[in-house]
Amino acid sequence: VNEEFGMNVKINCQETILSSEDIKRYKAANQSNLSEIDQGLYSDNMLGWMDVNEWSGEADCSQIVSIAEEIRENAEVFVVVGLGGSNQGARAVIDALGCGGTGNGRIEIMYAAINISPNYMKKLIENIGNRSVYFNIIAKNFQTIEPGIAFRIICKYMEERYGEKEAAKRFIITPTLYDGALHKIALENGYRFLPFPDNVGGRYSVFTPVGLLPIAVAGIDINKLLDGARNAQKDYQEGGPIACYAKEYALWRNQLLQKGYSIEVLAFFEPELEMLGKWWRQLFGESEGKNNNGIFPAVCSYTEDLHSMGQYMQEGKRQVLETFIHVEEHGSDLVIESEVKFNDGFEYLDGKGMNEINECAYQATVKAHYDGGVPCSIIELPRLDEYNLGQLMYFFFLSCFYSSVLLGVNPFDQPGVEQYKAEMLKLLHGER
Ligand code: PA5
């Protein structure tokens, strides 16, 4: 681990898959594509995420923190209403830092509008029970059907439960300002709102009010998270390690794609990272999966998934590359009892900590997969905290940007998502 900087990225590939000459040639051929980004010559009106402070400067953060404090004082449940980029960044951070769920006096964070299941929605309302609740409705366009459905149901529920005036105080809206229906609704009904930046796409929005309010409500220090992202941004602008890591990672995966490695697994040994995996999957999948091209992103949570996907990783079709997130330092450990009353055959574990065993599993998996022909890269994080997550997520934004440009696709749109929506609308309008 690069102690001064924080995270570290190691790219590894078998000489038989990519020779060092291949890599040099590919780098040289793509240099100009990447420097177009670095020199600010890539033009797009969705680059607002690159400057972390644009949407999370001091004043923005103190407004977010003060709303979050009010919610934490008054509510036992906070429901985030939104899907895709409108919730995954926040969920990733909240889960990674162990701030989801209940217990320890924690406010419970729930997620609505992530599906169209009536059972899920009924259970969510049932689970709120008679606990005090606030809602954050997040939508960039407010044409997506899931938040549309949820908002109607929730408005009725809240007005019946609290009356119109009190319900209004318990809604925080995160809409695109000025031209969207949701912003208009907020203005007309006196709901408080925070901006959904018009120059930031959903999946790039975790460092804006979209991600920051739920994260702050979960009790996480958003300034530390933003410090990690700001540090990554500064480092990128100064041509430091982040710029180099992001480029190397993007070049590695694109070159492998050309060699037929069209699936990338993001793997980790900390189950708290499952939502981060989903967030990463959305970021790369929605940004790159275009023109019948792009790497298919998948997620494996080890060691559990070693007992399901491990077989394929080791001996299946050689089309998978693997990126490990490795956390170096852990806050707590659990030591295996050495004085047991039975002969269980596990004496070799006597007195060992679970962290040490997990570390062995990680090292063994990298070795076995690499030796089995899987190109592996490793992202080392000193520890799982706000700062390192901020740095990691900014790194992924940047590498996704580079990687999409290398692939020749627009990293910020998702035209394909519209196709199924159009078909669904036809059905709902009785046109078929
Ligand atoms: O990354 C994106 O822009 C998308 O995943 C959107 O976040 C997602 O489709 C939800 O869109 P909206 O917030 O407009 O409902």
Render pLDDT for 191-222 as a digit per residue (tens, 0 to 9).
999 999 999 999 999 999 999 999 999 999 99
- Each residue's pLDDT tens digit in the chain (432 positions)? 455 678 999 999 999 999 999 999 999 999 998 999 999 999 999 999 999 999 999 999 999 999 999 999 999 999 999 999 999 999 999 999 999 877 777 899 999 999 999 999 999 999 999 999 999 999 998 999 999 999 999 999 999 999 999 999 999 999 999 878 999 999 999 999 999 999 999 999 999 999 999 999 999 999 999 999 999 999 999 999 999 999 999 999 999 999 999 999 999 999 999 999 999 999 999 999 999 999 999 999 999 999 999 999 999 999 999 999 999 999 899 999 888 888 899 999 999 999 999 999 999 999 999 999 999 999 999 999 999 999 999 999 999 999 999 999 999 999 999 999 999 999 999 987
Rounded to 5 degrees, φ, ψ at 80 are: -90, 120
Which ligand 1 atom is nearest residue 144's CA?
Answer: 15
Interior angle at CA 352, CA 348 and CA 358, nearest 5: 100
Contacting residues for 243 by C-beta, under 8 A, at least 6 apart:
38, 235, 236, 398
CA 400 to chain centre: 12
The Cα–Cα gap between 402 and 398 comes to 6
**Beta-strand pair 376-383/320-329:** parallel
Pocket of ligand 1 contains residue 144 by CB under 6 Å:
yes
What is the DSSP pairing of strand 8-12 with strand 376-383?
A: antiparallel
Q: What positions carry a catalytic annotation?
A: 286, 307, 421
Q: How far is the CA of 144 from the centre of ligand 1 (A)?
A: 8
Query: Mind listing the pLDDT tens digit for each residue in 369-384?
Result: 999 999 999 999 999 9
Residue type at position 331: G
Is residue 271 within 8 Å of 301, Cβ to Cβ?
Answer: yes
Q: Which residue has the tokens 């899931």?
A: 146
Strand partners, 297: 264
Q: Which atom of ligand 1 is nearest to the CA of 139?
A: 13
Determine if the pTM surpasses 0.95.
yes
Question: What's the CA angle centered on 262, arms 256 and 265, to 5 degrees?
Answer: 95
What gap in Å lies between CA 143 and CA 426, rounded to an integer?
15
Report the distance separating Cα 432 and Cα 74, nearest Å: 48
